[in-house]
Structure formats: C-alpha cells, structure tokens
Structure 1
C-alpha cells in the first residue's frame, strides 16, 4: 500500500525484498515438485490438433527443453511411450529422437517391479530389466524398455514443472515413423498410466479437432483437473472408461431406442465407452439405424451407406458447410443427467470434395459403442478415476485462460 512517509529508497527496498521472497517461494516450490508428485495439481499440457488426423497431440518435454514431444492423447492406452535411440525407423526422422544413453536421470525398471507386473505383455531381458510390448487394433505393435525419466510440463501459472521418476516406455521397435507419431500418452487407470501416476484425476478441453490454429486446447493432470458441469457414473472395464448411455435425441425429440440397447452384457459385450484416441463414434445397430433414419428425414439430399470393413457409415452428396446450416443438435443422454451435445460440425465431416458423412458409424453387435473425441469437441471432459465420475461441460476452452 502507498505510504507518503516512505522515501524512494524505502520503496526500492520493499520491491527488492518482495522480489527476493517471490524467488524463494518459487525455488522452494520447485524443490518440493522435484521430489514429490503432489505438485501435480499444477500440471497441464497444450493439446495440438492436426488438419490431417482426428486426434489431439499432447505437448511435453523429456529430460530437458531440447526434447519436445507430441504424443497422441489416448484414454484407452495404459502407457506413455516415446521413440528412443536405437531406433531402426528413426534414421530419416526430421525430429530429434530421445537417446537414453545420454541421460543421467534415465533408469530401467526391474522386471520384478510392480509397474512391470501391471503390464499385460512384459518380459525380462538378460539384466532383469522390464521389456514391454503393446498392441493397437489396426496398427503395428511397439516394444521397448520400461524406464523412469524426468518429464517437463507446463503449469497453470505459465511456468514449467519438472516431474522426476515418471514411468514410461522407451520404444526401440515400431513400424510407426517418428514424424507421424512421436509416441502415445496413455491415460487409462493402469498403474503405469500417467493419469494414475499423477493423481487419478485429469481433464481435457478441446475445440475443433482439425483446426491447428485454435490455441486453447489443453490437458490438465492431477488435483488441478477441472471437474465441473454435470456428472455421470464412470465405470472401468478392461482398462477402458465406460459410461451409461440412456438415450439419444435429435432436436430435442428422443429417438425410439430402448435403454437396454446400450447395456453391457454379463459376458462383457456391448456397453458404451468414451475415448480420446479416435475421432469417430460407433453405435450398435438398433441405435444407429434410429439415428440414421432421423437424420435422413431432415436432409433432402441423395444419400447412401458406405461400408467400412464391418461398419456402416451414412453419407450425403454435397458440401457440409452449405447443406446443413441450422441442423439441430444430436444429444447423448447419460445416467445422472449429464448430456453431450453434438452440433452439425461435430456430427458431419467432409469426406470428399463432393460428399460428406456422419461421424457416427454402425458397430458390430458384440462390439461396444464408442463416443470418440470428435463428439467431444467444444467440451471440457473431466475424469475422476477414484471417485468413478465423468464430468461434461460444453464450453469454449479459451474461457479456461481467463
């Protein structure tokens, strides 16, 4: 506070002491964060959209600021892994590949570790270090060494936070070239997941999935996760996050879909999971047919069903931005009252220059329904793993920075 009695020297002295105190506080906080992941309530990361792929990439650093990473944000994966040297496919890479042999903070994880035991497919090398192998449906497997290293994340106050001893996968064998995928950031409930390591809570807010110019997409890990809006029970089954979908409406009118259409059977078939690692959503036949019929009744264009492997997709002739102005929203209604609304730009995407398709496809009867990240555009989605709740709030992510 201003005091007329204070001289210029007094005010300079106060400013100096205040700055010194501020530095001491920051230094102490950094020391605590370097030895205690309780500081994870400040951890956040920018999410980057790419025009050519329907996922979001998490930005972080490994070891030091010279190793910038962009890894796919995937709630269906259990491990954070990145490409490491030696790497047969990395010779022509345009990015710098992490080399564990040059790091004093890199440590292999023992194959007797609880983290190694938490992986479904792991083995021991000759030195009793943990080797892992991960398989992705429709993609080549990746394998390497389970290890710990220091990772650097952004914080909510525009600073940087070093988190030591993060368990991750150092991948040496993968058919995915680093220029395409630098790694995957797994966020399921497995012990080795980054979400579990940093506090069992996380949230992400995303805008348009293929708009690289949007700067406000972000992931928050730990106690700082934004758990706001309406909530619905979150069930974890086989490492995936399931929700109880009770109905679907179009323009406020509920579709004729029995509730048990979305239930998971005693044998584990069916149900509905929420996923960040893929753009498209899938519904079982009854629900899909009801939604497709309602959509076709509202769009006066030539349509056809395009088969995609064993899936089916509804497509129309025309340009999506011109043909569906004013199209009503499709809303997913969940147990507990939470809702997820899909506007036209989330429900349709341009497939070719002369056709567009619905981003919800028909799945097999035995396959679960999937709410892909494309349906989550313009929402903040919060996961409370321990509390078993999912929070949904429609918003512009720019508001999180205010």
Structure 2
C-alpha cells in the first residue's frame, strides 16, 4: 500500500518565505537539532506519566513530511505528521478540548458519525502497548502520548478503518486499525494538521499492524516540487538492497555501524559515505567549493549521548525498508521516480 509523502515546504501556510540555499541549510540544521534532542529524551526514557506538554508547534517544525488518508465510514480526510520515533497513530477527535473553529473546519473526526468506530477496552491485547496506557471509566483504554519539547495528545484507544489513496489514484480500505482518538491535544497545533502517524516498532504502530514491513523513499529535500517521495506500508514495501540487522528498544530503531570515512580516509566510529549530491550544497559565488560545518555535542546546552542519528539529509535518494519480523533494514540508493507506480518510467 503506497502513498505520497507531502513535503512541508509545499504547504503554503508553513512556507511563507522562499529560501535561498544558505537559509535552507540553516533550517534543516535547526530541525535536526530539535529532532536529536527528542530522540535523546526518548532513549533516556525521561517521559513520565505526569508530564503532558501541549506545544505541538515544535513537532510540526521538526517534521519534513506529511501523510494524507481518511478515517471512518463515511471516510473523513486526515492530514498527519509522519514520525518514525513514536508508535501510535493519533488524530483529533470530538469532543475536543483545544480545538478551535478553524479545527472544526479541517476534518476533526467525530466518532459518533462513523459506523465502524469501536473503543478498545482495557482487556484488549494492544491496550498495554499504548503510550502511558491506563484504564478509564467503563473500562476504556486511555492513552497519553508525550513528546519532550513537542506535541502531546490524550484520549481513548480505539479501532477504525482507514482509507488510503495510492500514487496511481486507487483507494485501499484497511481492516480496523488501533489508533488514538485524541480529545485533548496540543493547543498550538495548526488547524491544517489533524494528528501524528507513528511508525515506531511497538505493536500499536500502524507499520506493525499492517504487516511489519514498510519502506520510504525521498528525493532532494531542497526541492519541494519533487513528486515521487513515497511511503509504502505492508507486504508491498520495496525491499531493495542488502539486509543490515536492527534492534529495537522502547519503539526506537537501532543498528550497529562499524566505521566512518570522509573521502578515502577511514576514521574510527561509524561507516558513512558522504556524497556530494546529497550531503553538500555548493555556493554559487564559489564554484567547486564546499564547506563542512560540524556542530559541537554540547549544542543548545545538551550533552549528546553515544549514539548517532542518520537523518533525512543522508537518506536523500535512498529507499529505506524495514522488515520488523526479520529485524533487518535495507538501504538502496535510487531515484524514487523508479519506484512510483504512476511514473511513466516504471
């Protein structure tokens, strides 16, 4: 099941200014720093049950791609943030504590109007995997998704059918999927966005529920008009290249890297080929000149722990595929247009 990924800079409300290469690089660096801090908190497991932050604006600022699909019967369109660091799909639902009039005009889901909506009880096997799961009145399974310096959502764990539109225009209706029906969400969340699509490794993740395989391919991050960025969930995932073993902890993906090289010089650490086409931006004023900046590990006052995050800049023009049952990740350099069913070249 393939679907288009929507570049954040193609959304007019989030892209009020045209960016020159220098400001674009600075923008990506800010996103990377915020993302790294979130991952460090997640790894340190500092998310406490009592902590609930409602500044969802930060989650939007640190996200580069969004996903469209519909929820319920009849289907209600949703516009969600793609996040591989969390393991729950949650959307805004009525009644909604922080929803504005603009929210009501942008597809806030009303479960009372759907013929296929079903709340999960505390006895449901997936209830205990929901973030900060606990029992509410009438034995309802409740969740509380927390994002350090980011978004938050509280609500009921439920099941609902999802409708996806593939790149070639076909629609796919799923069986009932576990998701979070959020009744108390980030007060600053833009009305255009209705939730977050978590693709982590826990059983509540949509990636796990749809078959434990998924892949994504992204082109030039600087090109908001590149139309072949895509996400594929389930058995149709594009499994390309050689397998690399991965481990998971608290829903986060890890793999061991063995060496690092810059040019032909091998350094100690992790193996990373820094390709000019995806890792550097040439300055038009200086032909054939590249600058490389490395931020200190104490940037923003944080002492980063001994782990490395492979960000989207390093993943440009790669197909990244996960097989969670076999515990493998696959990396294959490719132009995403070759994977798009709607492309004339395929």
TM bin (shorter chain): 0.7 to 0.9
Matching residue of 1:314: none
Task: Note the 1:2-401 alignment, pairs <5 A.
Answer: 43-51=1-9, 52=14, 53=61, 54-63=63-72, 67-91=76-100, 92-93=102-103, 94-155=105-166, 158-175=169-186, 176-179=188-191, 181-255=193-267, 257=268, 259=269, 332-333=271-272, 341-343=274-276, 345-347=278-280, 358=293, 362=297, 364-366=303-305, 368-401=307-340
Deviation (angstroms), 1:389: 0.9
The alpha carbon displacement at 1:370 in A equals 1.1
Max radius of gyration: which structure?
Answer: 1
Measure, in 2, the Cα distance between the counterparts of 1:388 and 1:349: 38
Structure 2 vs 1, CA of residues 348 and 99 (structure 1 numbering), >3 Å: closer, same or farther? Answer: farther
Could you give the per-residue CA deviations for residues 79-111 of structure 1, whole angstroms, max 9, x where no partner exists?
011111222332233522111111111110001
Deviations 1:234-253, CA, capped at 9 Å, x for gaps: 11122111011122222232
The answer on whether the counterparts of 1:48 and 1:57 sit within 8 Å (CA) in structure 2 is yes
On the 8 A contact 1:347/1:360 being kept in 2, the answer is no
Distance of 1:203 and 1:128 partners within structure 2: 36
Determine which structure has the larger strand proportion and give its number. 1
- SS of the residue aligned with 1:375? helix
Q: Report the CA distance between 1:230 and its aligned residue.
A: 2.9
Contact persistence 1:49–1:210 (CA under 8 A): no
Q: Which residue of 2 aligns with 1:19?
A: none
Deviation of the 1:399 alpha carbon: 0.9
Residue 343 of structure 1, CA deviation: 3.2
For 1:67 and 1:160, locate their aligned partners in 2 and report how far apart those are by CA, in whole Å.
14
Gap change, CA 1:66 and 1:110, over 3 Å in 2 = closer
| Contact 2:161-2:174 within 8 A present in 1 as well | yes
Gaps of 5+ in 1: 1-42, 263-331, 334-339, 351-355
CA drift of 1:359 comes to: 8.0
Provide the TM-score with structure 2 as the length reference.
Answer: 0.72
Name the CA shift for 1:65/1:357 in 2 (closer, same or farther; >3 Å).
farther
Q: CA deviation at 1:119?
A: 2.3
Q: Residue 101 of structure 1: SS of its match in structure 2?
A: helix
Quote the residue 2:48 is aligned against: none
Q: TM-score, normalised by structure 1?
A: 0.63
CA distance in 1, matches of 2:256, 2:295: 18
Task: Give the conservation status (yes or no) of the 8 Å contact 1:90–1:178.
Answer: no
The answer to whether the Cα contact below 8 Å between 1:50 and 1:210 also exists between their aligned partners in 2 is no
Q: Report the Cα distance in structure 2 between the residues aligned to 1:212 and 1:65, rounded to whole angstroms.
A: 32
CA–CA distance in 2 between the matches of 1:142 and 1:391? 32
Report the Cα distance in structure 1 between the residues aligned to 2:293 and 2:73, rounded to whole angstroms.
Answer: 43
